């Protein structure tokens, strides 16, 4: 049986846990963690086989992200965010993948996708300027994908806005070193990015709308189901999987902490039926979140593999499931943390870090339920949502 990445991560579990606290101190993944993840192949899970990628089922990607996040939340988060970029590069212009991976298939690609920059058309491409927040794992990445709007000759956004994904090498952008001082997921090193008058050739751009609606994949002639998966199923999958993995890590830390704990009234916690009830309920909710997320990606993959269209209503239902699963998992973390006593607040206890990291992950834009739930409910009534209700679906 072929060894999987998740098996390699299990073999270095103790090392991953130890590095997690160090990553929080330095504000980015440690070099040792990155070395281990590259050796294991975490970021090559969705990478094309041509460039030593593994082309796994999205379920296996999600399971690996969860396992990594349970050991080291920040490493799991980077696995989920950075690890999805090879899926998109598979259907970018072939010259891009060649530039990124020809010499080193373990080259990592950062983001973010928020349209924080303006791309002004010039001969052969664009002059690009902008400022972005939240570039997770960026210190360990040599390329980046950034969201942009096309601008006019004066560098102002053209109207109506046209959104692009711009792909740049490390030499063309600046990482703002002191820009990640936060309460949770500190080890992700999700720093700001600044670009000043960088030239981006046209072949290193992708139309954002075509990426999100699947046109880009079809134009590129993709045939593998993995690379025909909807962007709105794949990109959030890594982030949502990371948060659920963090919740699983929190539960494990909680059980380890409570095993021999005695409460203020002198009663062993394992003999307190009220705490045991809460622990069992939280464990069931975290497991439900996990199974719900995995079943959801299985459902979408099966549709794609069968050659069926994944409609907007299907995608909206999938996003609803992703969002709800994460909220359920983080709510369960709150339940166990509230039953852990005052000593769980101490900074030398891992449980408080899992609690902070889980809430930091919940704050990501893809986990905001309002418009996702609204769109999913309308779709279930046969109404086709428009405007902002279609964002990230």
Q: Please check the confidence at residue 2 and state whether its pLDDT lies above 80.
A: no
pLDDT at position 160: 86
- In the chain, % helix, strand, coil (3-state, to 5) comes to 60, 15, 30
Name the band, by pLDDT with cuts 50, 70 and 90, for residue 84. Answer: very high
Least confident of 170-174, 354-358, 384-388: 384-388
pLDDT at position 236: 97
pLDDT digits (tens, 9 = 90+) for 92-101: 999 999 999 9
Report the first-to-last Cα separation within the chain, whole angstroms: 37
Q: Please check the confidence at residue 316 and state whether its pLDDT lies above 80.
A: yes
Q: Please check the confidence at residue 20 and state whether its pLDDT lies above 70.
A: yes
Q: What is the mean pLDDT of residues 110-122?
A: 97
Q: What is the mean pLDDT of residues 21-41?
A: 97
Q: What is the mean pLDDT of residues 157-161?
A: 85
Structure tokens at 18: 């130890």
Q: Percentage of the chain surpassing pLDDT 70?
A: 100
pLDDT at position 1: 59
Q: Please check the confidence at residue 319 and state whether its pLDDT lies above 90.
A: yes
Q: How many alpha carbons lie under 13 Å from residue 156 in its C-beta half-sphere?
A: 3
Q: Please check the confidence at residue 317 and state whether its pLDDT lies above 70.
A: yes
pLDDT at position 154: 78
Q: Percentage of the chain surpassing pLDDT 90?
A: 90
User: Under a CB-based contact definition with an 8 Å cutoff, are residues 32 and 21 in contact?
Assistant: no
pLDDT digits (tens, 9 = 90+) for 218-232: 999 999 999 999 999
Distance CA 319, CA 366 (A): 9
Name the average pLDDT for the chain. Answer: 96
Name the band, by pLDDT with cuts 50, 70 and 90, for residue 336. Answer: very high
DSSP-derived letter for residue 41 is: T
Hey, what domains does the chain have and what are their CATH numbers? 5-101 (1.10.540.10), 109-206 (2.40.110.10), 229-390 (1.20.140.10)
Q: Please check the confidence at residue 383 and state whether its pLDDT lies above 70.
A: yes
Long-range Cβ contact pairs of 98-103 (< 8 A, separation 24 or more): 99/169, 100/142, 100/143, 101/47, 101/51, 101/52, 102/51
Least confident of 47-56, 151-160, 312-321: 151-160
Instruction: Select from 56, 167, 63, 62 the least CA-distant residue to 109.
Output: 167
Distance CA 84, CA 205 (A): 17
Q: Please check the confidence at residue 260 and state whether its pLDDT lies above 90.
A: no
Long-range Cβ contact pairs of 260-264 (< 8 A, separation 24 or more): 261/341, 263/341, 264/341
Distance CA 322, CA 241 (A): 9
pTM given for the model: 0.97
Instruction: Select from 6, 28, 253 the least CA-distant residue to 138.
Output: 28
pLDDT digits (tens, 9 = 90+) for 167-202: 999 999 999 999 999 999 999 999 999 999 999 999
């Amino acid at each position: 049986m072929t060894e999987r990445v998740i098996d390699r991560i299990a073999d270095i579990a103790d090392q991953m846990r130890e590095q997690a606290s160090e990553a929080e101190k330095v504000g980015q993944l440690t070099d040792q963690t990155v070395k281990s993840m590259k050796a294991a192949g975490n970021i090559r899970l969705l990478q094309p086989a041509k460039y030593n990628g593994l082309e796994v089922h999205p379920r296996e990607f999600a399971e690996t992200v969860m396992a990594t996040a349970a050991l080291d939340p920040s490493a799991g988060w980077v696995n989920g965010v950075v690890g999805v970029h090879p899926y998109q590069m598979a259907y970018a212009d072939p010259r891009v993948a060649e530039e990124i991976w020809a010499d080193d298939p373990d080259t990592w690609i950062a983001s973010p996708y928020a349209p924080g920059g303006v791309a002004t058309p010039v001969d052969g491409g664009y002059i690009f300027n902008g400022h972005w927040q939240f570039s997770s794992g960026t210190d360990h990445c040599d390329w980046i994908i950034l969201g942009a709007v096309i601008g006019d000759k004066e560098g102002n956004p053209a109207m109506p806005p046209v959104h692009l994904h711009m792909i740049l090498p490390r030499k063309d952008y600046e990482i703002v070193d002191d820009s990640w001082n936060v309460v949770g997921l500190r080890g992700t090193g999700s720093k700001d990015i600044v670009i000043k008058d960088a030239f981006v050739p046209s072949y290193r751009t992708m139309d954002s709308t075509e990426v999100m609606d699947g046109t880009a994949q079809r134009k590129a002639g993709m045939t593998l189901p993995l690379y025909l998966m909807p962007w709105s199923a794949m990109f959030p999958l890594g982030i949502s999987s990371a948060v659920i993995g963090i919740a699983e890590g929190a539960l494990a830390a909680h059980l380890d902490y409570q095993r021999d704990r005695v409460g203020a009234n002198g009663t062993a916690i394992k003999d307190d039926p009220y705490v045991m009830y809460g622990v069992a309920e939280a464990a069931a909710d975290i497991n439900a979140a996990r199974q719900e997320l995995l079943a959801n990606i299985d459902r979408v993959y099966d549709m794609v593999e069968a050659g069926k269209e994944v409609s907007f209503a299907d995608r909206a239902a999938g996003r609803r499931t992703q969002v709800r699963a994460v909220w359920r998992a983080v709510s369960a973390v709150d339940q166990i943390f509230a039953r852990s006593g005052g000593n769980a607040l101490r900074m030398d206890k891992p449980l408080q870090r899992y609690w902070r990291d889980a809430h930091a992950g919940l704050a990501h834009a893809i986990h905001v339920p309002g418009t996702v739930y609204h769109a999913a409910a309308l779709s279930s009534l046969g109404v086709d949502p428009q405007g902002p209700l279609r964002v990230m679906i």
